[in-house]
Chain A
């Protein structure tokens, strides 16, 4: 099993910071409301929030990043993810219906791409593999495409 690009960890940290900023903004609003309506001291919202912020920004991204791994060969794409509930997916390459290579703005600046394979299945018909370098994502896409030999059902 291979791990994701190290830049994916950066991306997860950036996402975590955005999430933390939103939480801080909400907390500031809450503190302002408390300050306006009562004589309670500052920190009633921030105090409990602090450990949450530490968790979200410092601890969680690394754990999440390490929880991801994948392997890819001629026959199957495997990926493992999840901290609490672990999921290990196996997708037979010849069952892939179509393939997406997607990239958000932050991912673009970090040179990352996501590979999304779609199968004809129901519950897990869309399997997303994030944190690939652009070149690797395109290479995997081309390999999968070459492998899709539709046997008559």
Chain B
């Protein structure tokens, strides 16, 4: 507590007025307005009520303002807030990625600015100082930058020599477009037909009709041709839409290596350029569907620190590439590589069983659905398909830790392989559901930066002892790597 930074500064008092104004339509006016319409309390009383609400709001906003304090220390920014629930946040300068000064319309009227401090996480309000005069905003930004500058940022000074790592010609882009025609589209098509089947001159789920069509082909030639035409059109449209979308997005795809970063250029109508700083790359993800796999292709993504902004989040590095093309890209980063063939281990035998158990509700719903609408019976085919996938899941769910790199592979149909350097693991969680506890299993969830909200690299249904051993090994690997680092860099 002794050397703690003192948070003694408040934001500008005009902020109170700004906040009340900002909330005015929704709280102060809406309530009495509704009341005035709904009952006969009269316009003046409604105004009086609005005034009262405004006063109460003003009081609480003032209270919130007086309890919001911030301060800048030698190494950190401290923000205190909360009326009843007190919160004291400490943001070390070292973890601050970006400081934005922004001004919205209302703030512009009174000449105030917001200071937004971003750390590596998502786009949450990690540190928001709302609102201060421009001199104060610049003082804060200056102090944060000065405090940070012990670690110099990557300078983009001299003209960078660049070298093409991966590029896609027109045929490759077309091929990628073909693969983008997914089964999802077909499913969507059938859902559409199902919804609008009254518009069609027949029942697409009536097999007797399909068989009968041949007999009645002559008198109903028009109907048959119409059906065939509609289906064919939809199919062609799907392919064309997938092609055009891919063409517009990936046309002229080029990934080049520059000192300290990768640069990606793509797009037909709008050429978009993104720079992926090598320092900020966290995770490599290889993904392939059945079609891509059959032709020996997969997709490469990188996860990067900072969500959404300048090359953060999940970024495509090669939309359609062969292994031989992916390896140089991975090598260029200096931290990722593909696992040695056959080096990854499988999870517990119970994994398939637990997957089957998870299928029970889906299967029940399907069977009940068919009981109510017998016309849906072809949907029952899904049950053995899903069950097959559930059993196969174990074979394709593999993991391994080799030389500081954690590999996690998952997926039967669409396969994903995560490559996570141990030192970029943001956190580990061993989760055990009641069923997993009775079976002696655990799921090891690996938290990484720049991932999507769901579907990260988790190793599901490991035996408890191997899950614990793996967690320990990952933690050990990260400390070894950082130990090596500090030995060479400091």
A contact residues vs B (CB 8 Å cutoff)? 75-76, 84-92, 94-105, 108, 118-125, 127, 138, 141-142, 145, 148-153
Contacts A99-B89, A104-B85, A121-B427; is A92 near B452 (CB within 8 Å)? Answer: no
Tell me if B426 counts as interface (CB < 8 A to partner A).
yes
Does B431 contact A87, Cβ atoms closer than 8 Å? yes
Q: Using an 8 Å CB-CB cutoff, how does the interface string of B464-490 with A read, 1 for contact, 0 for none?
A: 000000010001001100100110010
Report Cα–Cα, A145/B456, bound state, in Å.
28
Q: Which of A75, A101, A102, A105 contacts B475 (CB 8 A)?
A: A75
Q: Specify which chain A residues have a CB less than 8 angstroms from the CB of B431 in the assembled complex.
A: 85-88
Which residue on chain B has the smallest CB distance to residue A138?
B1
Q: Specify which chain A residues have a CB less than 8 angstroms from the CB of B84 in the assembled complex.
A: 104-105
Q: Specify which chain A residues have a CB less than 8 angstroms from the CB of B119 in the assembled complex.
A: 97-98, 118, 120
Q: Specify which chain A residues have a CB less than 8 angstroms from the CB of B453 in the assembled complex.
A: 122-123
Q: Which of B89, B425, B447, B485 contacts A125 (CB 8 A)?
A: B447
Tell me if B151 counts as interface (CB < 8 A to partner A).
yes
Which residue on chain B has the smallest CB distance to residue A125?
B121
Interface CB pairs A-B, < 8 A, 10: A84-B433, A85-B431, A92-B478, A105-B85, A118-B119, A119-B449, A123-B456, A127-B427, A138-B4, A150-B151
- Chain A proximity of B212: nearest CB distance (Å): 54
Q: Which of A97, A102, A124 contacts B86 (CB 8 A)?
A: A102
Which residue on chain A has the smallest CB distance to residue B85?
A104
Does B151 contact A122, Cβ atoms closer than 8 Å? no
Residue of B119, B430, B447 with most partner-chain A CB within 10 A: B447
Report Cα–Cα, A96/B305, bound state, in Å.
14
Contacts A84-B434, A101-B87; is A121 near B449 (CB within 8 Å)? Answer: yes
Interface segment, B26-34, B90-98, B266-274? B90-98
Report Cα–Cα, A97/B449, bound state, in Å.
11
Contacts A86-B432, A102-B82; is A119 near B90 (CB within 8 Å)? Answer: no
Contacts A84-B434, A122-B456; is A148 near B94 (CB within 8 Å)? Answer: yes
Does B86 contact A90, Cβ atoms closer than 8 Å? no
Q: Specify which chain B residues have a CB less than 8 angstroms from the CB of A153 in the assembled complex.
A: 279-280, 282, 305, 424
Does A119 contact B86, Cβ atoms closer than 8 Å? no
Q: Which of A85, A104, A124, A141 contacts B447 (CB 8 A)?
A: A124
Tell me if B238 counts as interface (CB < 8 A to partner A).
no
Main secondary structure of the interface of B (DSSP, over half): mixed
Tell me if B122 counts as interface (CB < 8 A to partner A).
yes
Report Cα–Cα, A108/B88, bound state, in Å.
14
Does B94 contact A149, Cβ atoms closer than 8 Å? yes
- Chain B proximity of A25: nearest CB distance (Å): 22
Contacts A102-B82, A103-B86, A153-B280; is A145 near B447 (CB within 8 Å)? Answer: no
Does B429 contact A124, Cβ atoms closer than 8 Å? yes
Does A108 contact B429, Cβ atoms closer than 8 Å? no
Which residue on chain B has the smallest CB distance to residue A101?
B88
Does A145 contact B92, Cβ atoms closer than 8 Å? yes
Does B471 contact A90, Cβ atoms closer than 8 Å? yes
Q: Specify which chain B residues have a CB less than 8 angstroms from the CB of A124 in the assembled complex.
A: 426-427, 429, 445, 447
Contacts A119-B121, A150-B95; is A90 near B427 (CB within 8 Å)? Answer: yes
Question: Which residues in chain B, 419-443, are within 8 Å of chain A measured between CB atoms?
Answer: 424-434, 437
Report Cα–Cα, A108/B84, bound state, in Å.
10
Contacts A75-B479, A90-B429, A151-B482; is A118 near B151 (CB within 8 Å)? Answer: no
Q: Specify which chain B residues have a CB less than 8 angstroms from the CB of A121 in the assembled complex.
A: 121, 426-427, 447-449, 451
Q: Using an 8 Å CB-CB cutoff, how does the interface string of B287-316 with A read, 1 for contact, 0 for none?
A: 000000000000000000100000000000
Does B95 contact A97, Cβ atoms closer than 8 Å? yes
Contacts A94-B482, A120-B120, A151-B482; is A125 near B86 (CB within 8 Å)? Answer: no
Does A100 contact B482, Cβ atoms closer than 8 Å? no
Does B482 contact A98, Cβ atoms closer than 8 Å? no
Q: Which of A92, A118, A138, A150 contacts B94 (CB 8 A)?
A: A150
- Chain B proximity of A121: nearest CB distance (Å): 3
Q: Specify which chain B residues have a CB less than 8 angstroms from the CB of A98 in the assembled complex.
A: 89-92, 95, 119, 126-127
Does B151 contact A120, Cβ atoms closer than 8 Å? no
Report Cα–Cα, A75/B475, bound state, in Å.
9
Does A151 contact B92, Cβ atoms closer than 8 Å? no
Report Cα–Cα, A121/B120, bound state, in Å.
8
Which residue on chain A has the smallest CB distance to residue B481?
A151
Q: Specify which chain B residues have a CB less than 8 angstroms from the CB of A142 in the assembled complex.
A: 1, 3-4
Report Cα–Cα, A138/B452, bound state, in Å.
33
- Chain A proximity of B133: nearest CB distance (Å): 25
Contacts A118-B121, A151-B485; is A125 near B88 (CB within 8 Å)? Answer: no
Does A102 contact B88, Cβ atoms closer than 8 Å? yes
